[in-house]
Amino acid sequence: MSQYLSSSPSLIDLNQRSLYISAIAIAFNPTFWNTVARREYHHKSLTRLFNGNSQRACYALALTIFSLGLFRDALYERALRSQPTHPFLQQPSIPYIAYALILTGNILVLSSTWALGITGTYLGDYFGILMDAPVTGFPFNVTGAPMYYGSTMSFLGTALLYARPAGVLLTGEVLLVYWVALGFEDPFTSEIYAKRDRKRRAGKKTE
Ligand SMILES: *[C@@H]1O[C@H](CO)[C@@H](O)[C@H](O)[C@H]1NC(C)=O
């Protein structure tokens, strides 16, 4: 039976453990940073760990999130290598599309980090490190979440470059997980800034 299965051309090899490990890493990362950031917001748990230095605590979280991202990417590539390729993704035009996606994705991620700074990118708002004004220039005039869509594009580009349908599936998971993360993060950060603005207005009135 299993011989029949393995001899038929398959899109995705569900028997590879690396596929599930990659899927878990993809779901884990945003879950981790949302959990840690909310604990920081409510209990100052990370800032306390850094003797009250919220700037340093935020940088430590940034480094952790960044490293977890690299680890997740490595697990993704490892999963792809043990998956079957598909002729449809081996057409000569595919690598061009793949490189265009990876390039655009990296531009979105890097330019948004440049625009927001390290603390702005890595959940500084939760540490009380707020931006003076919302960033509206590039890449935020292209999409509201350049970091997430840029990252998704890089995942898809890599899947195409490896010609692995499994990569397209995992990219779908990346997008889904980011949508869920945005659903948690956007209202929360909006409220943090709304609170700051209410305080500012109240401060002006008493002056
Ligand atoms: C976004 O802003 C940049 C300059 O910051 C500009 O060159 C670009 O055309 C804008 N894009 C859109 C879609 O408005």
Return the number of other C-beta atoms located less than 10 Å from residue 54's C-beta: 19
Domain boundaries, the chain: 15-206
The number of helices, as runs of H, and strands, as runs of E, in the chain is: 7, 0
Confidence check: pLDDT of 181 > 70: yes
CB-based contacts of 141: which residues, under 8 Å, 6+ apart? Answer: none
Please work out, in degrees rounded to the nearest 5, the angle formed at the alpha carbon of residue 83 by the alpha carbons of 97 and 168.
Answer: 40
In the reported structure, the alpha carbon of residue 112 is separated from the centroid of ligand 1 by a whole-number distance in angstroms of 13
Confidence check: pLDDT of 10 > 90: no
Greater confidence, 2 or 56? 56
In the reported structure, the alpha carbon of residue 107 is separated from the centroid of ligand 1 by a whole-number distance in angstroms of 13
For ligand 1, which residues put their CB under 6 angstroms from it? 137-138, 141-142
The residue among 200, 185, 192, 170 whose CA lies nearest residue 78 is 170
Q: Which atom of ligand 1 is nearest to the CA of 141?
A: 1
In the reported structure, the alpha carbon of residue 18 is separated from the centroid of ligand 1 by a whole-number distance in angstroms of 40
Averaged pLDDT of the chain: 92
Residue pointed to by tokens 């840029």: 150
Here the tokens at position 39 are 């604990």
Residue pointed to by tokens 């005039």: 141
Mean pLDDT of 171-177: 98
Structure confidence by residue, pLDDT tens digits, 128-140: 999 888 888 999 9
Q: Quick one: the chain helix, strand, coil %, rounded to 5?
A: 80, 0, 20
Task: Determine the pLDDT at residue 122.
Answer: 94
Structure confidence by residue, pLDDT tens digits, 82-114: 999 999 999 999 999 999 999 999 999 999 999
Helix (H), strand (E) at residue 182 = helix 165-206
Confidence check: pLDDT of 5 > 80: no
Q: 139: cis peptide before it, omega within 30°?
A: yes
